[in-house]
Amino acid sequence: MITWNIESVLLHRQPVDFRKSINGLAAIVEQEIAESAMSGKVFAFSNKNKDKLKVLYWDKTGFALWYKRLEKDKFKWPDKESDDVLTLTAEQWQWLLSGLSVIAHKPLNYGYNV
């Protein structure tokens, strides 16, 4: 397992064409996320079925592209809300890679007046 020494991951919520490689994903980062692909930030992308994940980052010597495919499950990808990009903490990133949801559930209301 790769040890991620990061503060945050920018998660692109829309599925991307997984035929795209470094240049195509870097273009999405620049145009749709409006960030510099060489900023040192980590950018994560999913396919339509949410069973594959591509991670793009710049490590001061060049781009690195990491790919993960799940055999029997899907990533718990957050639904599209108001933003196309979600910033994950390092802890949330580990949750996502472990198959857990990164979004907390809505507060439960049991009807008690407290």
Instruction: Give the pTM.
Output: 0.81
Within 13 A of 34's CA, how many CA atoms are on the CB side?
3
| Tens digit of pLDDT at every position of the chain (114 positions) | 566 667 779 999 899 999 999 999 999 999 999 999 999 899 999 999 999 999 999 988 999 999 999 888 888 877 666 578 888 888 888 888 887 777 766 666 666 665
48 belongs to a structural domain: yes
Please indicate, yes or no, if residue 88 is contained in any of the structural domains.
yes
pLDDT at 25: 97
Is residue 113 in some structural domain? Answer: no
Bridge partners (DSSP) of residue 43 are 10, 56
Instruction: Identify whether the C-beta of residue 101 lies closer than 8 Å to the C-beta of residue 74.
Output: no
Cα distance between residue 87 and residue 41, in whole Å: 11
pLDDT of residue 1: 52
Domain with 34 in it: 8-97
Domain count, the chain: 1
Q: Does 104 fall in a domain? A: no
Q: Are 28 and 20 in contact (CB under 8 A)?
A: yes
* CB 43, CB 9: distance < 8 Å: yes
Residue 12 lies in a domain: yes
pLDDT of residue 7: 72
3-state DSSP assignment of residue 5: coil
Instruction: Specify if 54 maps to a domain.
Output: yes
First vs last Cα of the chain: how many Å apart? 46
